[in-house]
Amino acid sequence: MAQYYGFDTHIKEDSAAYLKSWLSNLKEDAKFIRTVLLDVKKAASIITKRIDDISDSASTEPSPLELC
- Tell me, what's the pLDDT at 45? 93
Q: What is the pLDDT of residues 16-61, one digit of tens each?
A: 888 888 888 888 888 888 998 999 999 999 999 998 998 888 777 6
Q: Which residue has the higher pLDDT, 65 or 43?
A: 43
Instruction: Mark out the alpha helices in 1-68 (DSSP H runs).
Output: 15-28, 32-60, 64-67
What local confidence, expressed as pLDDT, does residue 63 receive? 58
pTM, entire model:
0.53
More confident residue, 17 or 8: 17
Query: Where do the structural domains in the chain lie, given as residue ranges?
Result: 1-6+30-58
CB-count exposure of residue 25 (10 Å: 0-12, 13-18, 19+): middle
Pick the residue with more confidence: 45 or 2? 45
